[in-house]
Amino acid sequence: QKEVEQNSGPLSVPEGAIASLNCTYSDRGSQSFFWYRQYSGKSPELIMSIYSNGDKEDGRFTAQLNKASQYVSLLIRDSQPSDSATYLCAVITPSGGYQKVTFGIGTKLQVIP
Amino acid sequence: NAGVMQNPRHLVRRRGQEARLRCSPMKGHSHVYWYRQLPEEGLKFMVYLQKENIIDESGMPKERFSAEFPKEGPSILRIQQVVRGDSAAYFCASSSTGTRGAFFGQGTRLTVV
A44/B33 Cβ within 8 A: no
Decide if pLDDT at A1 tops 90. Answer: no
What residues of chain A lie within 8 A of the CB of B42, using their CB?
88, 103-106
pLDDT in tens, A13-44: 999 999 999 999 999 999 999 999 999 999 99
pLDDT in tens, A65-103: 999 999 999 999 999 999 999 999 999 998 877 888 899
Cα A13 from Cα A62, distance rounded (Å): 17
Decide if pLDDT at B1 tops 60. Answer: no
Residue of B nearest to A44 (CA): B104
pLDDT in tens, B68-85: 999 999 999 999 999 999
Query: In angstroms, what separates the C-alpha of B4 from chain A's closest C-alpha?
Result: 11
* Among candidate residues B83, B101, B81, B88, the one with its CA nearest the CA of residue B10: B88
Measured between alpha carbons, how far is residue A11 from residues A18, A47, A106, A113, B63 in Å? 11, 19, 11, 14, 38
Q: Residues in chain B whose beta carbon is closer than 8 A to a beta carbon of chain A?
A: 33, 35, 41-43, 45, 48, 55-56, 91, 93, 98-107
